[in-house]
Amino acid sequence: MADRKVCILGGGMSKWGVREASIIDMAQEAAKDCFDDVPALKKEDVDGLLFASSYCGRSAFQVNIAPVIAERTGIKPTSICTRVDTLCAGGSSGIILATGLIKAGMADVVMVSGGEKLYTPQRWETYYSEMASIDHDWEGAQGIGLPPPFFSMTAQEHMKRYGTTKEQLSAVSVKNRRNGSTNPKGHFQKAVTMEEVMAARAVVPPLGLFDCTPITDGCAAVILTHEDKAKELSDKPLVYVRGTAQATLHSMSMNWPGEDLADWVHLRIAAKKAYERARVGPEDIDVAQTHDCFTISEIIEMEDLGFCKKGEGGPFVESGQSDFGGKIPVNTDGGLLACGHPFGGTGIRQACEITMQLQGRAIRQVESAKIGLTHNLSGLNVEHTILIYGREP
């Protein structure tokens, strides 16, 4: 059997934010929103469920959560039903795996769902659990947790090496918070000014409050299937998964693969592979959702994804090249900075936004977008994941 072409039909999200809801509740909300988005899809059409979550084993005391989500949402998978954990890229990993299964004929209609309940009854536990998200025995035990200190050093490195300024970091936050202001599902709907970002309290200098993604509860879900089934189930333009890549070269900081912390060689490797597989180059991407866990991340991603030259990420974002009307609109739904980052849910949220962009129905629409890209980095910047979607296979 020849490889089948794989389409993403649509998706949905629970409300993201500080939620008075469990992960099981939010997974049901996301699945409902997803089924509502693909009205012809019936529960019995779905033969696979991949649920991306990293913290469910800690903050919900539930491992092997996929059967629980399947039962609560009323789907009965017969091809695959399992959990995926790549921390910040879990949702994207789920989409990559679903694509492979559908392409190979091992599954037909797969729901990729995911998210986290990060707010625990006492807040210390959230920060404490973060130390299990990186190389625990060597770096978690150093109190590093999730990466503000790491990305502070990364920002310092980029500032020293390329002259990147705090205003340029802030420009990312101002853009993404403005984009998120019209996204009802995201964590924050309030735009912020350059003055507010610059004057915000420090978290780890030079990173302040608005340079960091918040802690967020939420879930998201998408539906993938093969081209023939997609034509049957969807009345919207088809969106194909064109190419994917996921690169990991190290786990602990002593084995960092780049020349310095601002040199993301693993991102360049993943990008090269994803572009090759999608048969496009960075100049062909019309819209991108990249992993703005910190403002500095989006700046370096512009460079290492090939949207601008190395070292020019600061001026690129400051001059509006990553905004509407610029070279490539980035994080059009608000990104992590506005939507928040319930780890397993993020790649799926990005896929929802890119799908709507390519179908021409996004809240902030990039005019005639045909090719879109999503990107995640995971943990202490140990893994880069890229998916490229297109209106053509």
Partner 1 sequence: MPVPGLPILEGLYPSTMDLYPFEAKEFNRIHPFYENLRQNRFTTTKCKKCGNTPFPPRVVCPKCNSDDLEWVDLPTQGKVLRFTEEVAGVPLGFEAPLIHALVDLGEGRKFISRVINCKEGQLKEGDTVKLAVFEVPPMIIEKRGGVMEESPRVFFAFEPVK
Report the catalytic residues.
88, 341
Which parts of 212-241 interact with partner 1 (CB under 8 A)? none
Among 25-33, 89-97, 126-134, 269-277, the segment contacting partner 1 (CB under 8 A) = 126-134
Question: What x-and-dash track marks residues 272-301 binding partner 1 by CB under 8 A?
Answer: ------------------------------
- Helix axis angle for 90-103 and 343-359, nearest 10°, is 60
Choices 141-149, 279-287, 296-304, 313-321; region in contact with partner 1 by CB under 8 A: 141-149
Does 141 sit near partner 1 (CB under 8 A)?
Answer: yes
- Taking the C-alpha atoms of 382, 276, 268 and 356 in order, what is their torsion angle to the nearest 10 degrees? -70
Q: Which of residues 49-78 bind partner 1 (CB under 8 A)?
A: 58
Distances in Å between the alpha carbon of 317 and those of 172, 181, 195, 308, 327? 7, 19, 17, 10, 10
CB 56 within 8 A of CB 63: yes
Give the integer Cα–Cα distance in Å for 252 and 260. 14
H-helix or E-strand containing 241? strand 239-248
Residues paired with 389 in a beta bridge = 241, 372
**Whose CA is closest to 297, among 123, 88, 79, 69?**
88
Binding segment for partner 1 (CB under 8 A), chosen from 24-32, 86-94, 138-146, 275-283, is: 138-146
> Is the Cβ of residue 256 or residue 389 nearer to partner 1 in the bound state?
256
Candidates 131-139, 182-190, 267-275, 361-369 — which segment interacts with partner 1 by CB under 8 A?
131-139
Verify binding: residue 42, partner 1, rule CB under 8 A.
Answer: no
Residue number, 136 or 190, with CB nearest to partner 1: 136
Please state the separation of Cα 149 from the chain's center in Å. Answer: 21
Among 29, 139, 263, 286, binds partner 1 (CB under 8 A): 139
DSSP class of residue 293 equals: S
Q: Which of residues 349-388 bind partner 1 (CB under 8 A)?
A: none
Q: How far is the CB of 136 from partner 1 (least distance, A)?
A: 7
Tell me which of 167, 190, 255, 281 binds partner 1, using CB under 8 A: 255
Sign of CA dihedral 117, 121, 123, 125: negative
